[in-house]
């Protein structure tokens, strides 16, 4: 039988028993100097090393000015750039995604773009307009925020938690808390809306992928009970299937790789409303691909506080759990 480098359960058990007896047998140990002991144990330790599961990976964190760079060594390895300052880009928005960590960014950093919050992975924007109208007013956390507080609440090899507080036009106060693990990150935003009420309203999160980095023909959406359903490659907008409800996940396959970036929208403004009117857009070259997810209420901005939560995962499903 060829040697595959793998060890059966029975053989591994025997090796463990042998190692145990070596370690507890003081007579054996007493008669060996350090070099001889290492030579004796080396084959057993090497075999055990081959059979143990790989390390879960670790995070590394670097701050440079108003950018926070977080990398994960867990395969396929990844790095995210967070813009933690004010203005554009800012407000804690993820403006760079690198999979693997040493590759070029999968998403575009294009602040001040006129349409649809084209900025990185998760720019959060509000918009209101007159009922029945086509023109409105909008503003986003990634373009126009004022940041009064930035703090790192936890920083370990397995988890990073950071928080920002501030405001942006139409939002008198926001608190954004982001928790990063070796698999990806989760963001919670509390926003106190202070803009004009009694208007037709929307909230959306957008992701702007480079056109040559995303396999836009195979983007899908699913929730706990349905899917995955295709989100057609279109520049006109597509209604999400009506049996999809929060929380739901959008799967973004990355071009030329087996990697999939996964966005789970857990809470977006309100649980009520016309959740099936979430849409996916692709504007096409040369502008690039972007994805909007938003509830479009046939109602008004009435609440003073809105809650948003979403999660990005960059590791394979069988490893992320």
Other CB atoms within 10 A of residue 247 CB: 14
SS3 151: strand
Give the DSSP H or E segment for 18. Answer: helix 9-24
Q: Are residues 157 and 226 in the same domain?
A: yes
User: Is 198 domain-assigned?
Assistant: yes
Give the torsion sign (CA, 239, 245, 247, 253): negative
- Residue 238 and residue 310 share a domain: yes
Measured between its terminal Cα atoms, the distance across the chain in Å is: 34
* 87 secondary structure, DSSP code: B
Domain contains 94: yes
Please tell me whether residues 310 and 173 are part of one structural domain.
Answer: yes
CA dihedral 239, 233, 108, 213 (to 10 degrees): 140
For residue 181, is it within any domain? yes
The mean pLDDT of 250-261, rounded to a whole number, is 92
Structure tokens at 144: 């126009």
The reply to whether 106 falls in a domain is: yes
Residue 3 included in any domain: no
Question: Do 314 and 220 belong together in one domain?
Answer: yes
> If 0-12 CB within 10 Å is exposed, 13-18 middle and 19+ buried, where does residue 23 land?
exposed
Please identify, among 35, 51, 67, the residue that sits at the C-terminal boundary of a domain: 51
Q: What percent of the chain has pLDDT over 70?
A: 70
Q: Identify the domain containing residue 21 by its residue range.
A: 9-51
Please confirm whether the linkage preceding 286 is cis (ω < 30° from 0).
yes
Q: What is the pTM of this model?
A: 0.80
For residue 255, the domain's CATH number is 2.70.98
Q: Describe the strand order of the beta sheet including 260-269 as a list of residue ranges.
A: 146-155, 159-168, 171-181, 184-193, 305-313, 260-269, 248-253, 220-223, 229-230
Beta carbons within 10 angstroms of residue 162's beta carbon: 23
> pLDDT, tens digit, for every residue of 57-114?
999 999 999 999 999 999 999 999 999 999 889 999 999 999 999 999 999 887 555 4
């Amino acid at each position: 039988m060829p040697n595959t480098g793998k060890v059966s359960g029975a053989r591994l058990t025997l090796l463990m028993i042998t190692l145990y007896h070596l370690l507890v047998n003081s007579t054996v140990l007493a008669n060996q100097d350090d070099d001889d002991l290492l030579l004796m144990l080396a084959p057993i330790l090497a075999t055990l090393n081959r059979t143990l599961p790989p390390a879960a990976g670790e995070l590394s964190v670097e701050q440079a000015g108003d950018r926070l760079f977080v990398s994960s060594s867990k395969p396929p390895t990844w790095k995210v750039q967070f813009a933690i300052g004010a203005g554009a880009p800012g407000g804690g928005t993820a403006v760079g995604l690198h999979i693997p960590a040493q590759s070029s960014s999968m998403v575009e950093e294009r602040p001040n773009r006129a349409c649809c919050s084209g900025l990185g992975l998760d720019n959060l924007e509000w918009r209101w307009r007159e009922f029945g109208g086509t023109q409105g007013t909008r503003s986003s956390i990634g373009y126009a925020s004022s940041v009064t507080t930035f703090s790192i609440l936890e920083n370990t090899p397995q988890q990073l938690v950071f928080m920002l507080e501030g405001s942006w036009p139409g939002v008198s106060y926001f608190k954004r808390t982001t928790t990063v693990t070796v698999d990806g990150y989760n963001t919670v935003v509390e926003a106190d809306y202070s803009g004009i009420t009694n208007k037709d309203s929307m909230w959306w999160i957008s992701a702007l992928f480079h056109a040559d980095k995303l396999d836009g023909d195979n983007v899908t959406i699913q929730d706990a009970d349905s899917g995955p359903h295709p989100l057609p490659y279109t520049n006109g907008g597509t209604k999400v299937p009506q049996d999809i409800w929060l929380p739901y996940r959008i799967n973004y396959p990355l071009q030329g790789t087996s990697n999939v970036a996964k966005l789970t929208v857990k809470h977006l403004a309100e649980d009520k409303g016309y959740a099936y009117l979430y849409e996916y857009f692709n504007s096409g070259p040369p502008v690039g691909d972007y994805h909007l997810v938003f509830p479009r209420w046939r109602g008004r901005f009435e609440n003073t506080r809105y809650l948003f939560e979403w999660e990005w995962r960059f590791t394979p499903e069988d490893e992320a759990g």
